[in-house]
Amino acid sequence: MTFRFPTARLASGSTADFALPGPQDIHRVPLDNGLVLLSRHHPHSPSVVVRGLLFAGAYWDPPQKMGLAAFTASMLKQGTQRYSHREIADLLESRGASLNLAGHFHTVGFGGQALSEDLPLLLELLAQVLQAPTFPPEEVEKRRAQILTSLDLRAQDPAAMADLTFDAILYRSHPYARPEEGFPETIQAVSREDLRAFHARHYGPRRMILVVVGAVPPAQVEDLVRRYFEAWHNPKQPAEPELPPVPPLKSAVRRFVPIPEKSQADLVLGVVGPRRNSPDYFPAALGNSILGRFGLMGRLGDVVREQAGLAYYVYSALNAGLGPGPWDVHAGVAPHHVPQALDLILGEIRRFISEPVTEEELNDVKAAALGRLPLSLETNAGVAGALLNMELYGLGLDYLQRYPEWIRRVTREDVLETARRYWDPDRLAIAVAGPAFPGSENWPQGAPTPEWFL
């Protein structure tokens, strides 16, 4: 049965039945080389959106060359066997089209948009940058300089350094502890040959996902994808291995990164959370919204920012993905307020795991989650992103149609049990970066370096 929102207001301002994408209109085609194509026809849109990914992320970075995967991904548009960097840019700009790529921990993601008649060009350029980049030496050095500049800026950014240090504490010897962007020393160690070798080994169609949504019929989309991608094979491409378990912290671990010239201290604290395809995901997501997202950043925003006036910002985040991402709290505070802000945050976490959320809180976040769903699917880009996640996490083509029932099914007891399963105030990873604060002299100090991970 197709779930419908009876009177969902569309972007045009009209009111109509809003049919959620599902098996009836999502076309899924696995190719023999391992690529999976998903497409959905939107005949009333003049444009088409492409989204996708392949498994060539930072998981495969050698410890001495952290940042290699992201460096490689950033070079793909800088020249191919058929087109120079300038020609790629000119072709896209002349059609009002876009094409972007970025490296992540597990994957390299890509996305583009064009008028429907320009889909052949967009797919041809995508095939070129994924299959035949040339890594021009002068462009490699330009990009290296840009990365090094961004890493210098990171070292002076309290929020970025708190995040970096938090991950190193929480995950320790686990691959998730390593920063995807690397360090200045590891980026300097990457050669052009390293980039070419990484691409030759890790880029291929196995488990690649390609999503196309817009005003191009599925049969035509399939023909184009087969034209540009069906012959692509890479027998050297390794299968993505299973992630090792994350060793739990035996007690709270804290660390301070001094950045004395700043006026604000940023803190991150948290635990390892659920995977995206875990049964715990929906109770955790709704609970997280109550804790630090809904309205003016949930309970945390109300207590720490609005009532106590101790934070410039405070929120919680559930980073569920292919592996067990962090479930954490972020805050920016004046340095002399760090101890008090930490105490209030810990108080809210203890409350979160000691008593059920209220019926009103749960109903509010459920209504918000249900209301966001049709809004998130008003655009081709929104639909393409949803289809990509459905395939990546194995959620099923009927996921969006089942979503409302899953949300409604979560109870107050589910939220409490899930919160207790993950949160332990006595076994948190805590990182603060910025100027010194009262008591910071008693914290272990210093930012992570490459040696932490060797």
The per-residue pLDDT for range 105-116, each reduced to its tens digit, is 999 999 999 999
Categorize the per-residue pLDDT at 240 as very low, low, confident or very high, splitting at 50, 70 and 90. Answer: confident
- Give mean pLDDT, residues 343-348: 98
Q: What are the residues whose beta carbons fall under 8 Å from the beta carbon of 429, sequence distance 6 or more?
A: 166, 169, 170, 249, 252, 253, 254, 268, 269, 270, 271
pLDDT value of residue 79 = 97
Distance of CA 366 to the CA centre of its chain: 23
Least confident of 17-31, 78-92, 362-376, 377-391: 17-31
How far is the first Cα of the chain from the last one, in angstroms, to the nearest whole number?
Answer: 53
The three-state secondary structure class of 378 is coil
Q: Model confidence at 11, in pLDDT bands (50, 70, 90)?
A: very low
Q: Which of 26, 19, 129 is nearest to 72 (CA)?
A: 129
| Residues whose CB is less than 8 angstroms from the CB of residue 14 and which lie 6 or more positions away in sequence, other chains included | none
When pLDDT is averaged across residues 292-308 and rounded to a whole number, the result is: 96
- Sequence-ordered list of residues with C-beta below 8 angstroms from that of 85, at least 6 positions apart, any chain: 77, 78, 79, 136, 139
- pLDDT of 285 higher than 70: yes
Q: Which residue has the tokens 């979503």?
A: 403
Q: What does the block give as tokens for 61?
A: 């970075």
pLDDT tens-digit map of 39-56: 999 999 999 999 999 999
Long-range contacts of 298-307 (CB under 8 A, 24+ apart): 299/348, 299/351, 299/352, 300/329, 300/331, 300/345, 300/348, 303/344, 303/347, 303/348, 304/331, 304/341, 304/344, 304/345, 304/348
Question: What is the predicted pLDDT for the residue at 189?
Answer: 98
List, in order of start, the domains of the chain with CATH numbers: 26-229 (3.30.830.10), 253-448 (3.30.830.10)
Residue 149: band (very low, low, confident or very high) from pLDDT cuts 50, 70, 90: very high
Query: Cα–Cα distance between 69 and 52 in angstroms, integer?
Result: 17
CB 82 within 8 A of CB 208: no
